[in-house]
Amino acid sequence: MSHKEYLFTSESVSEGHPDKVCDRISDSIVDAFLAADPDARVAVETLATTNRVVLAGEVRGPSSVANDQTMIDAAREAIRAIGYDQEGFSWKTAEISCHVHEQSVDIAQGVDSRDNKDLGAGDQGIMFGYACDETDELMPAPIQFSHRILRHMAEDRHSGKSAVFGPDAKSQVTLRYVDGKPVGATSVVVSTQHHDGYSQDDVRAAVLPYIAQALPEGWLPPEDEIYINPTGRFVIGGPDGDAGVTGRKIIVDTYGGAAPHGGGAFSGKDPTKVDRSAAYAARYLAKNVVAAGLASKCTLQVAYAIGVSKPLSLYVNTHETGDVDEVKLARVLRELMDLSPRGIREHLNLCAPIYTPTSAYGHFGRQPEEGGFFSWEKTDLVGELKSAFGA
């Protein structure tokens, strides 16, 4: 049942949030392996706490990368790039231990291609993709605006334009919807780590322009509904304030709760893992459906079995926002893109070291860049989709 008017909220977290520190480290290790060997296998998890990082998982790749010191160096560089050089968490002094081992031969034999068998899925699972016309990026507005606030704050922290902010931050945006469309913000929450010596008023004054910049003109909520560091002082942050683990921000990574999620996290996994690659493919197809004007919302689900190359199912739902036959749409999408693990990797060029930038501010709603970054955000199927449906 659709509601005529309702509120919907999504949150984002910055690259310095403890869980995102772990995502960044894990994806940095993925990129290090793929830079050395595009066919490398990586499944690395990270735990971070006060001045300590633990790496665990399984890999298969060149010995130049598949050794403890190289992975430890990648982790330390990731911490430096985020900006942590604090007493309780510093890239210089953090103790980093590596417990990564060789990939299981049982998993390898089910996944690898051999004889007449194509590359199989790295695990069973269901993955979802979603797109809608609420923003130019074809993303749900609450999550997109939440990301935008923190991304701009981080850009100015890194450039030195702002001397107030520390790396750790969270945002939350609540929008009012009328007839299924967002019309304004009813509240915004931003909690940001800050350097010692700044008052709560100082931090509020520093953050307010980023909120105004992120929201469409006229969408700012009343002043008493803008909550900035509502608990007060926030100097101790990051893994020193709270432990972090890879893969705990999957809703932040995707659609902010506006669409289903299959459950699998992305960071730390090479693209043979369909948790990651098939979720990217599903977003790619859903985005092209909306970009082609066939619907204003589109949800896709794709399912796999470990070691099996073909997807078990493809489900398409346009939420009664288009006039297309969804059965035909699913068939056309499967004709336009080979949804086997190998087909996805080749179509989207996923075997390159492109994953570190995905580790914060969302895997979706980003701009495709040279080198294959965010290739799943391209809308290069629009022409073929329009032709198939006479649009």
| Coil/strand/helix, residue 164 | coil
- Choosing from 19, 27, 253, 338, which is the catalytic residue? 19
Same domain, residue pair 278 and 385? yes
Q: What is the pLDDT of residues 346-368, one digit of tens each?
A: 999 999 999 999 999 999 999 99
Same domain, residue pair 168 and 129? no
| Predicted local confidence at residue 1, as pLDDT | 38
Length of the chain: 391
| Domain hosting residue 361, numbered range | 125-133+273-389
How many angstroms separate the CA atoms of 93 and 87, rounded? 9
Q: Is residue 310 part of a domain?
A: yes
Q: Catalytic annotation on 58?
A: yes
Token representation of residue 94:
């953090």
| Predicted local confidence at residue 2, as pLDDT | 53
Same domain, residue pair 357 and 282? yes
Q: Is residue 146 part of a domain?
A: yes
Same domain, residue pair 211 and 316? no
Q: Catalytic annotation on 87?
A: no
Pairing, β 165-178 against β 41-49: unpaired
* Extended beta strands in the chain, E state: 5-13, 41-49, 52-60, 85-86, 89-90, 95-102, 125-132, 165-178, 181-194, 226-228, 244-245, 297-304, 313-317
Question: Where a domain ends, among 217, 240, 263?
Answer: 240
Q: Catalytic annotation on 248?
A: yes
Same domain, residue pair 145 and 293? no
Flag whether 170 is marked binding.
Answer: yes
- Supply the angle between the helices 274-291 and 382-389 in degrees, to the nearest 10: 60
pTM of the model as a whole: 0.94
Same domain, residue pair 129 and 146? no
Q: Is residue 267 part of a domain?
A: no
Q: Residue 126 forms beta bridges with which residues?
A: 303
Q: Catalytic annotation on 253?
A: no
For residue 3, pLDDT beyond 70:
no
How many angstroms separate the CA atoms of 366 and 363, rounded? 7
Flag whether 388 is marked binding.
Answer: no
Same domain, residue pair 340 and 376? yes
Domains contained in the chain, number: 2
| Predicted local confidence at residue 356, as pLDDT | 98
Q: Which residues contact 145 (CB under 8 A, 6 or more apart)?
A: 173, 175, 185, 214, 215
Q: Catalytic annotation on 389?
A: no
Question: Is 274 in contact with 366 (CB distance < 8 Å)?
Answer: no
Q: Catalytic annotation on 242?
A: yes
How many angstroms separate the CA atoms of 27 and 357, rounded? 9
Flag whether 249 is marked binding.
Answer: yes
Flag whether 58 is marked binding.
Answer: yes
- Choosing from 8, 11, 15, 17, which is the catalytic residue? 17
Q: What is the pLDDT of residues 296-350, one digit of tens each?
A: 999 999 999 988 889 999 999 999 999 899 999 999 999 999 999 999 999 999 9
- Choosing from 273, 297, 345, 347, which is the catalytic residue? 273
Q: Catalytic annotation on 325?
A: no
Other residues' Cβ atoms within 10 Å of the Cβ of residue 275: 22
| Coil/strand/helix, residue 301 | strand
Spatial CA neighbour of 175 closest among 199, 144, 208, 142: 142
Same domain, residue pair 280 and 374? yes
Same domain, residue pair 283 and 376? yes
Q: Catalytic annotation on 161?
A: no
Q: Catalytic annotation on 20?
A: yes
- Choosing from 89, 234, 266, 373, which is the catalytic residue? 234
Question: Where a domain ends, among 220, 240, 260?
Answer: 240
Q: Is residue 363 part of a domain?
A: yes
3-state per-residue secondary structure call for 255-277: CCCCCCCCCCCCCCECCCCHHHH
Q: Is residue 103 part of a domain?
A: no
Question: Where a domain ends, among 198, 224, 240?
Answer: 240
| Predicted local confidence at residue 123, as pLDDT | 73
| Predicted local confidence at residue 378, as pLDDT | 98
Residue 332's domain is classified under what CATH number?
3.30.300.10
- Choosing from 15, 45, 137, 240, which is the catalytic residue? 45
Mean of the per-residue pLDDT values of the chain: 94
Q: Which residues contact 32 (CB under 8 A, 6 or more apart)?
A: 65, 70, 71, 74, 353
Q: What is the dihedral of CA 18, 147, 232, 235, to 10 degrees?
A: 40
Q: What is the pLDDT of residues 175-209, one digit of tens each?
A: 999 999 999 999 999 999 999 999 999 999 999 99
Q: Is residue 259 part of a domain?
A: no
- Choosing from 8, 15, 20, 258, which is the catalytic residue? 20
Q: Is residue 210 part of a domain?
A: yes
Question: Is 87 in contact with 50 (CB distance < 8 Å)?
Answer: no
DSSP letter at 225 equals G
Same domain, residue pair 310 and 364? yes
Q: Catalytic annotation on 15?
A: no
Flag whether 265 is marked binding.
Answer: yes
Other residues' Cβ atoms within 10 Å of the Cβ of residue 74: 23
How many angstroms separate the CA atoms of 301 and 287, rounded? 13
| Coil/strand/helix, residue 345 | helix
Same domain, residue pair 278 and 202? no
Flag whether 233 is marked binding.
Answer: yes
Same domain, residue pair 162 and 129? no
For residue 263, pLDDT beyond 90:
no
Q: Is residue 248 part of a domain?
A: no
Region 54-81: mean pLDDT is 97
Q: Catalytic annotation on 145?
A: no
| Predicted local confidence at residue 108, as pLDDT | 54
Flag whether 323 is marked binding.
Answer: no
Q: Residue 85 forms beta bridges with which residues?
A: 90
